[in-house]
Amino acid sequence: MRHQAFVIEAEEEKGIELALAWARQELGMKTEHNPDIVVLRYGLLAVDDARRVSELAAGAPFEGEHKVLIISASRAYHEAQNALLKIFEEPPPGTYLFLILPTLGGLLPTLRSRVQVLDAPAGPTRSRIPDEAEAFLQASREKRSLIIKKLTSGKDEDARREHRDEAIRIVNGIEAAAYAKLKDSSSTSLGALLSDISVLRGHLYDRSAPVRMILEHLALVIPKDLV
């Protein structure tokens, strides 16, 4: 039985191309100018966005036997993930769903259990580290404090959301750098850092998370050999 719901851990364009390649190879679909292939791009996937995904998935294909929905987001609120549970558990016949996220660290276990992880081809790890994370790693203690202060301020909800997205990119980038370094090192401090990140990053997907405390903790525990 062929899986119909997938999640891809990749940056937006790379993940979308992987999903399109799967549609071409596995379903024989034409991926250009095809109304049965829908690509949705979100910065933050909210509950209303998840409901729209469910509505689009419920419709029948326009031309062929299959329909593909590709949903790319920088992150997804837990409420939005819960709203996707039913459609990802039982997609309509002929409908294939792809959820693309830069990291699966914030993916709820309930949603993850309903999808197949489609692995993206491995690439140079260091090159995928966001600029914000590189800057945070290279910064002095004082400069890190200034970065944290900026990311924990904001005059309105949109500004705070942008800052939280940047904080997540920093955390994801630090994780990628640690994994890359760990391949050539048996450092216990790197292992401890990765363990901390696996716990703390999940909290960043909660709108009430203490972003300042999370970033200040990471600033203190980043090993010197990672910089």
What CATH number has the domain bearing residue 48? 3.40.50.300
Angle of CA points 120, 20, 89, to nearest 5°:
80
Last residue of a domain, one of 86, 117, 148: 117
Helix (H) / strand (E) element for 42: namely strand 37-45
Number of domains in the chain: 2
Q: Tell me what the pLDDT averaged over the chain comes to.
A: 86
pLDDT tens-place string over residues 184-217: 666 678 888 888 887 777 677 666 778 889 899 9
* pLDDT given for residue 49 in this prediction: 94
Last residue of a domain, one of 67, 86, 117: 117
Closest CA to 27 of 62, 56, 2, 10: 2
Report the C-alpha gap between 145 and 150 in whole angstroms: 9
Report the C-alpha gap between 63 and 56 in whole angstroms: 15
Is the pLDDT score of 21 beyond 50? yes
For residues 203 and 214, the answer to whether their CB atoms sit within 8 Å is yes
Report the C-alpha gap between 11 and 153 in whole angstroms: 26
pLDDT tens-place string over residues 64-82: 899 999 999 988 888 999 9
Indicate the pTM of the whole model: 0.64
111 plus 164 within the same structural domain: no
Q: Which SS3 state, helix, strand or coil, does residue 124 take?
A: coil
Residue 68: domain span: 5-117
Identify residue 206 by its one-letter amino acid code.
D
112 plus 149 within the same structural domain: no
Question: Of the given ranges (18-27, 88-97, 134-143, 152-161), which has the lowest mean pLDDT?
Answer: 152-161
- Sequence length of the chain is 227
* pLDDT given for residue 122 in this prediction: 53
